[in-house]
Amino acid sequence: MTARGPKANYKLGRQIAPYLYLSPSLIVVGLLMLLPMAMVIAYSFQESAVLRPDTSFAGFRHYRAIFGDEVFWASLWHTLYFTVASVVMHMAIGLAFALMLNSDRISPMLRSVLRVLYILPWLFTQVIIAVIWRLMLDPNGVVNSILVDLGIIGSKVAWFSSVETALHAVTFANIWAGYPLFMVSLLAGLQGIPKDLYEAADIDGATGPQKLVFITIPQLMPIIVSISLLDFIWTMQVFPLIWLTTGGGPIYATEVLSTYTYKLAFSQYNLAQAAASAVTILLISIGLTLFYIRHQKAR
Amino acid sequence: MKTRKAMTVLKGAAAIWLLGATGALAQTTLEFSQWWEPELPKGSLRAIMDDFEKKNPDIKVTLISGPYATTRDQIAIGAASGTMSDVVGLDGAWVNSLSAQNAIADMNPLMDGSGFDESQVADIIEIDGKAVMFPVASFVYPLFVNLDFAKEAGVSELPSTRAEFLEAAKKMTNADENKYGWALPLSLQSPSSVLNDMMSWVWASGKSMLADGKPALEQPPVVDMLTFIKQLDDAGVISPGIASKTEQEKVEEFVNGRIGMMVDTLAHVNLIRERNPDLNFDVVPMPVTEGYDGKRGLTYASWGIGIAESSEHKEEAWKLVQYMMSEDVNARLVSLANAFPGNVNAKPDFVNSDPVFAKAFEIFQEGYLANEFTGLPEAVDLMREFDVETQKMLEGQQTPEETAAAAQAKWMEKF
């Protein structure tokens, strides 16, 4: 047996120290994130998970059940439509408003007022947004009234109750709620673009649209990609807005993965299948997150 | 002197320790989770608990209160994880699942052990021979009619049959003025409308949606009800936005004079009066099929009470349940809630003081309480499946017969 010398102890201490500093965060992350995740993954492979103490291994039965359910595939499609449309429109509206707020052609006073107005949707919780849009898009609501008065629609439309319009209506509400994130981020980016780039373009005789396409957008691209990826991940998981406006209906017209999973868990009390559905969402989210991390590293 | 003082302190401490150890000072804290407190006048349920604590100084009650849906989710999670409160407020739609999980206690041994008089309670909900829930308060669902609306529309007699209802609804409807005869809130967020606004038509005529405890949705009572709903929709008498309308919105439409009739709980009478003190309305029994003159089934929902199987204080929990079901306390609670009592001897005071409640009490006494969803497996999901199929019918995707057949097939998977 050899005694460890003070030098060896010091070396060991130096090696362990970073982990000791990190340990509080690692413990918190482990307990609050990794453990629940591991438990949900385990439930997805159990028979009668959680509900009965005598559970047994179910293999991939629950995954086969949800992948064989046409409502799951409809939910996946609705989730994709809802997410892609929301992200694209968030970006377009966010960019348009950011350009407007960054423009010297608008008076500083008006810009300040618009800045407050445009950011308002961000201040509301999803529950409030759902209530606002339920009232606005009610068959007797203000939107129908305006559209009928303008002659755009012939009769009142039950936006959230019709199979044809419900998914578009919830997507619209989500677009309204989410564009300020893009607007604020892009506005910060716009203010960081060097003025001399535009001055050089002016000397070269570039038009406004050309400056937008060849200077502004390329300069903003890192922000656009980062925020789009984050927005994609967040929008995919939206639950309260859809639940409180349509409940996933009419029929299954606005069923998305989050409402599908919720119904499995709290309406059917099929927690094992709900876990399998949740793990599927997790895998999609992990895929997107890895893409995001790779993009961040590349930057 | 100092030693004597110290000894006295020590003796006192030892006596307190001894009392605590022998249980003389031991106090049991019961958790009671329910959604009733927010729906009752502020502080009234706490006052009932305070009186219970005075009568039982060794028991403390902690109320865990939240909205209905939150309480339901909490109980579902608590049942799964074995952390349910000792005493729980229950809905009849939940008890089958909770019993299957062995999460709610059989109260039969507790009743036997305490010599409880079963004849004093209006109903005991049993699953597989286990007494799992007492309805503490029952909220009946008659038909509410806006009398001024009806008079304006030329409806002289309030409807008593389905045909009369359709006629009255047609007269009341004027789409250009946003006025409609009836509302059907089929939002999937909370599909209880299937119970309140749809199956109530079946039960009113003394019929059933079950046969030998199994779904019988393809039988005439349910198919006829679906055909009738389709007829109402085709006639354009139902206010638009059916598939996303919630129960609250239905009540709002009635309060604002946009619909002439609705099926609703008596518990909303005070709310309706608060929101629109000038609204002139009455309650009538649910209309029945032509020629039916038997007793009418009156849809009800109840505040039920039960004990968690995982509770370590079942004896104390049973004391609280007994207290809530006792004649005086039950009368006090239902008077506050505008509900009908779970104790047959309890007399709520509102029956004598309010004409609408007096009328409802008459309807209650002339008919019988009906809610066939109580005790069914995954009752909320059964309602949701039926709701989806009804929405398909109203979208024109299937006939009432196909709707009934599709719902029957889905329901049979649960039985």
Partners of residue B190 in chain A, C-beta under 8 Å: 247
Domains of chain A, by residue range, sit at 69-298
| Structural domains present in chain B | 2-138+301-356 (3.40.190.10), 143-284+376-412 (3.40.190.10)
Cβ–Cβ contact B91 with A under 8 A: no
Give per-residue pLDDT as tens, A194-208: 999 999 999 999 998
The answer to whether A250 contacts B178, with C-beta atoms less than 8 Å apart, is no
* Distance, CA of B262 to CA of B282 (rounded, Å): 11
Mean pLDDT of B184-203: 94
Partners of residue A50 in chain B, C-beta under 8 Å: 80-81
Q: Reply yes or no on whether the pLDDT at B363 is more than 60.
A: yes
* Distance, CA of B94 to CA of B403 (rounded, Å): 25
Partners of residue A245 in chain B, C-beta under 8 Å: 244
Query: Across the interface, which of B186, B189, B378 has its CB nearest the CB of A243?
Result: B189
Mean pLDDT of A173-183: 94
Looking at this predicted complex, what is its ipTM? 0.80
Reported as a pLDDT band with limits 50, 70 and 90, residue B375 is confident
Residue whose tokens read 């959680």: A50
Q: Reply yes or no on whether the pLDDT at B298 is more than 60.
A: yes
The answer to whether A266 contacts B76, with C-beta atoms less than 8 Å apart, is yes
Tokens of A25: 């965060």
DSSP A52: -
Give per-residue pLDDT as tens, B19-38: 444 444 568 899 999 999 98
Q: Which residues pair with B153 in a beta bridge?
A: none
- Evaluate whether B161 touches B296 at the Cβ level (below 8 Å): no
Alpha helices in A137-216 (DSSP H): 142-149, 166-191, 195-203, 208-211
Q: Reply yes or no on whether the pLDDT at B307 is more than 70.
A: yes
Give per-residue pLDDT as tens, B162-176: 999 999 999 999 998
For residue B251, what pLDDT is reported? 93
Rg (CA), chain B: 25
Superfamily of domain A69-298: MetI-like (1.10.3720.10)
* Burial call B306-316: b when 16+ CB within 10 Å, e when fewer: bbbbbbebbeb
For residue A86, what pLDDT is reported? 96
Contacting B residues, span 174-203, partner chain A, CB-CB under 8 Å: 178, 186-190
Q: Which residues pair with B127 in a beta bridge?
A: B130
